[in-house]
Amino acid sequence: MTASAPATAPEIKYAPGVYTIHFCTPIGDPNRPRAFARHYVGAAKSVGYRIDQHNRSAGFGNLIHIANARGIPWIVASVTYTDTASAAFALEKRLKHNGHHADRCPICKERT
């Protein structure tokens, strides 16, 4: 369930890459920072296909499915395309390990 995209919305291609999704309403318990999410970082062999799956709530137990079930709008905030799927998954792992997704989110940067 996507919301209106920002003015500089990334182009969604059917190619390997890493994407960041921004939740318009955070998910979780604000009193427990480790159980509170405003972003989801994912990688795919085909970003366009994976975003289509997220829109259909295909796949269970992830934050996108929870957001869709609760009616929380989300936006694809950024996409980094890679040459191969393995490069996308390696980048995703590095980004998730580093954390601080709000620092890289163009939507959060616009609001500060």
74 is written with which tokens?
């989300």
Mean pLDDT of the chain: 87
* C-alpha neighbours within 13 Å on the C-beta side of residue 60: 0
Task: Give the residue-averaged pLDDT of 3-14.
Answer: 69
Contact 24, 73 (CB under 8 A): yes
Q: Is 102 helix (H, G, I), strand (E, B) or coil?
A: helix
pLDDT tens-digit readout, 56-106 = 876 655 889 889 988 999 999 999 999 999 999 999 999 999 988 888 899
Task: Give the residue-averaged pLDDT of 35-61.
Answer: 86
pLDDT, position 32: 83
pLDDT, position 71: 92
- The reported pTM is 0.85
Name the residue among 49, 45, 41 with its Cα closest to residue 12.
49
